Structure 1
Amino acid sequence: MAKPRQKPSGKWEIALRHPALPGGRKYFSFDSEQEAVEYAQQWKLMKGAGLQPPVALTQPPGPASSVRLVRVLGEWSESGFAAPTQIGTLKKLSQEVGSVKLAEADYTWLTGYLRQLKVDKNLSPTSIKQRIQALGRAIDEYLRHHPGLQLASPVRLLPRGYSRYSDAEAKLVVAKGQQPKVNVERDRRLQPDEEEKIVRVLSGYERPDRPRGLQLKGGNALLTLYLLLVNSGLRLKEAYTLRRHQVDMDRKVMRVQCSKQWRGAVSWRDVPMRPEVHAALADYLATRPMLPQAWLFPFMEEEGVKGEKTVSQRLSFRFRLAFEYMGIEGLHAHDLRHEATCRWLELKDARGLWLFRLEELNKIMGWKPGSVMAQRYASFRAEDLTARLWEAAVAPAAPAGVA
């Protein structure tokens, strides 16, 4: 494998060979030596697998004045480095700005495009950020492969908060009869009576005024899935893709495949079972003998399932129906992970001390060391904090001289 060399500009350059490349060799520039080495390793794997390089790399680039964003976006989409979740966004970008020339895509043009996304399309800040980030990565990648182009990515000049609506933009949106979009932070907690209602309806309860209850496909599978989610913090996909051998009832541990990994990487984590989870799984498995490789839940084998996306949509819909059936408003399936996080954080031992450290919670939830996700997911009920405050206030004071 070729070794990268540092250029006088400080960039790192590496030459990669392939018969399909012009002259059989092409130079690539990177900001660091590590990036150059990693790209070369991935290139080597592509060659070993018999994969051809993207067509755009085998053709000499035209002048900057003639290159359009549709080509820039296409090269990034075909590079193999764009995240799978970004492909749909790249297609939307190609339709919206593909005809724009790269040389004309300056900061002035970009701010105009941002206003179009807000005022004309009325997109949420998250949707705007997804488009701009994808555009920025595509332009950066193109400029890395064509260092001779004296251009800079306008995306890197945007200030923080560019995706939020300014006062002027908000007025324009309101004038059109719409409302400026804002990102909604989820901090929905379950109330004690809501927990009881959910368990009842997933156990087959029918309301007197609505005698036709929910169709609980798979018997108590949905109830068990709910108890698993709300008491463990597993993501929905991590839970319904469990296989029987991943659930060790003796050790009271679940071997979970993490569903959020970079570029399809596979990693696992061990999640301890709370007593509530162990009891629910014991009842569930008592009536369902299954082989070690069998799916723990039947949702992946239902009729019409075309993949995990179908299962996620179906289960989210079923949970929403169950919540609405019992008059529970504003609760989503993913809120159960927020609830579970708070339950882990609130656990205490017999001495009244916190049971888990933050580092241990990160392991349980599948977050990286030092992650701040626990703080983002934490949503403590004011009434619980008030109860603890008043318990401490009315507790008898220790006698004088007693430590």
Structure 2
Amino acid sequence: MLDAGIVPDELIAQRDAFISIDEAIRAYLTSHSLVTSEIALLGRLMDRWKKEPLTLVNYQWAESWIRSMKRVDNMAPSTIRHYVGALARCFDWVVTSGSTLLPVNPLRLLPKRYATYNAEDGAVVKTQNKLVKVDVCRDRRLSVDEESAVRRILAGHKPEGRQRALTLHYAPAIAFLFELAIESAMRMREMYTLTLDQVDTGRRTIFLDKTKNGSKRQVPMTSIAIGAFESYVARVQSGDLAMQGFTFASGMVFPWWHGSKNTEPDAIRDLNLRNVTLQLSRQYARIFDAAACVNLTFHDLRHEATSRLFEKTSLSDLQIAKITGHTDPRVLMRYANLRGSELARMLW
């Protein structure tokens, strides 16, 4: 009856605040505090299923959607998992709210590796002259020589084979961000949005109150990170010309992001953040290229810093996860071989 546009009398009396998929998503967004990335994902899904009844949502619907993401949208498995995870959490809330229209969340019934392309998916994709997407697991490490080469470029030395040094705007900030990345395992956005009151050198910690996965965490500062921070602060406070007039008057640690205003729409804020991330990624790509660090990205520094935590400390996996902000223990399993190598050196 619902599919035919007829709402039975018994449902009218106990009608939920939503009867369609987009209404359910909108209600979920309104009643929950979500991270920016999840809001964006659900916003796209809300546009995709306008006015589609919740009664259509079953296991066959879930399989059809995933098939479409592979064969039509040609998404990477990791992207598919992000979309499914976001909507699954929304549907969990719908089910637990007692909705009569969605008694079971079919997304929780999907088998393992549901996002991986099977042979049939691959055949369909290839007929469209597209590539079968696979998850890319980066394991790029920063060698000692490469690290030294990057520092030389950041210090203003001329790259080998070039006529002049790179022009780096806010060079002290660029150099400090690099040091902080390999010492803390923080994400780029977590760093360039820092305020001074988040950094406590007395307690040797940086407090992150809003992260990618929505959780708060305290990041311990190594002695190298503290030294780099204090040196950077001294240069800014001394009016270093390389900082182009930037001061700490706004309370921000770095010069690229000035915070968001309370009246600023989330969409505008997210766009500005993405632009800063893109700008910095390009800047470091130039630096790494000048230092002859082939195929190195800024995000690889987070992998490098996490690897060093496993190699140089006796911290447990859980303790390291609290530092890095990884919520899925399976992600940290990539680093298990590093600790195994260190343990092997202790054997007779």
Per chain length, whose mean CA-contact separation is higher, i.e. which structure has more relative contact order (CA < 8 Å, sep 6+)?
2
- 2:107 counterpart residue number: 155
Q: For residues 244 and 79 of structure 1, do their structure 2 counterparts lie closer, same or farther at Cα, with a shift above 3 Å needed?
A: closer
* 2:154 counterpart residue number: 202
Classify the secondary structure of the residue corresponding to 1:207.
coil
Question: Secondary structure of 1:298's match?
Answer: coil
Largest Rg, 1 or 2: 1
Question: Does the 8 Å contact 1:126/1:163 carry over to 2?
Answer: yes
Equivalence for 2:281:
316
Cα distance in structure 2, aligned partners of 1:218 and 1:238: 18
- Taking the aligned partners of 2:142 and 2:210, their CA distance within structure 1 comes to 24
Question: 1:287 maps to which residue?
Answer: 235
Instruction: Tell me if the contact between 1:258 and 1:366 (Cα under 8 Å) persists in the aligned partners.
Output: no
Q: Deviation of residue 122 (structure 1)?
A: 0.5
Among 77, 88, 91, the alignment partner of 1:125 is: 77
The worse-fitting range, judged by mean Cα deviation, of 334-343 and 372-381 is 372-381
Q: Which amino acid aligns with 2:304?
A: E
- Are the structure 2 counterparts of residues 359 and 174 from structure 1 closer, same or farther at C-alpha, using a change threshold of 3 Å? closer
Render the CA deviation track for 1:16-61: whole Å, top value 9, x for unaligned: xxxxxxxxxx999xxxxxxxxxxxxxxxxxxxxxxxxxxx73xxx6
Verify the 8 A CA contact 1:242 1:256 in the aligned structure 2. no
1:3-402 → structure 2 map (5 Å cutoff) = 57=17, 67-80=19-32, 82-145=34-97, 147-149=99-101, 151-207=103-159, 209-211=161-163, 213-244=165-196, 246-247=198-199, 251=202, 253-260=204-211, 263=214, 267-269=216-218, 271-274=220-223, 276-289=224-237, 294-301=251-258, 308-347=273-312, 356=315, 358=317, 360-366=319-325, 374-377=332-335, 380=338
With normalisation by structure 1, the TM-score equals 0.65
The question of whether the paired residues in 1 share the 8 Å contact of 2:204 and 2:221 is answered with: yes
Q: Deviations over 1:367-391 (max 9, x none)?
A: 67x9565444467499xx59x85x9
CA pair 292-256 structure 1, distance change in 2 beyond 3 A? farther
Going from structure 1 to structure 2, the CA distance change for 1:113 and 1:339 (only over 3 Å counts) comes to same
Q: 1:150 to 1:102 in 2, by over 3 A?
A: closer
Identity over aligned residues, as a percent?
26
Q: Amino acid of the residue matched to residue 252 of structure 2?
A: W
Q: 1:268 to 1:357 in 2, by over 3 A?
A: closer
Offset of residue 163 of structure 1: 0.9
Instruction: Tell me: CA distance 1:208–1:177, structure 2 relative to 1, closer, same or farther (3 Å).
Output: same
Normalising by the residue count of structure 2, what TM-score does the alignment of the two structures yield? 0.74
Name stretches of at least 5 consecutive residues in structure 2 with no aligned partner: 1-12, 238-246, 260-267
Letter in 2 for 1:167: A
Query: Quick one: structure 1 residues 27 and 187, their matched pair in 2 at CA, closer, same or farther if it must change by over 3 Å?
Result: farther
8 Å contact from structure 2 (residues 198, 208) kept in 1: no
Paired residues of 1:245 and 1:293 also in contact (CA < 8 A):
no
**For residues 346 and 206 of structure 1, what CA distance do their matches in structure 2 show?**
33
Displacement after TM superposition at 1:155 (Å): 1.9
The one-letter code of the counterpart of 2:282 is F
The CA deviation string for residues 48-84 of structure 1, in whole angstroms up to 9 with x for no partner, is xxxxxxxx73xxx6xxxxx442333333233335544
Q: Which has the higher helix share?
A: 2
Sort the Cα spacing of 1:193 and 1:72 in 2 relative to 1 into closer, same or farther, 3 A: same
Letter in 2 for 1:285: V
Alpha-carbon distance in 1 for matches of 2:162, 2:133: 36
The unaligned stretches of length 5 or more in structure 1 are: 1-25, 29-55, 62-66, 348-353, 394-403
Q: Give SS of 1:299's match.
A: coil
State how far apart, in whole Å, the 1-side matches of 2:151 and 2:125 are.
43
User: Shift of the alpha carbon at 1:195?
Assistant: 0.9
Q: CA deviation at 1:248?
A: 5.3
Query: Given that residues 235 and 259 in structure 1 are in contact (C-alpha distance below 8 angstroms), is that contact kept between their aligned partners in structure 2?
Result: no
Instruction: Identify the residue that residue 5 of structure 1 maps to in structure 2.
Output: none
Distance 1:207 1:81, change over 3 A: closer
RMSD value, Cα: 3.8
**8 Å CA contact retained: 1:230, 1:339:** yes
- Corresponding residue number in structure 1 for 2:9: none
Between Structure 1 and Structure 2, how many residues are aligned? Answer: 317
Instruction: State the Cα deviation string for residues 301-359 of structure 1 (Å, max 9, x = none).
Output: 49xx9654443333222212211233323222222122112223322xxxxxx554555
The letter for the 2-side match of 1:297 is: F
Residues 252 and 278, structure 1, Cα contact 8 Å, conserved in 2: no
Output the amino acid matched with 1:283: S
In structure 2, distance between residues paired with 1:172 and 1:111: 16
Q: Hey, what's the Cα distance between the residues in 2 that align with 1:207 and 1:98?
A: 54
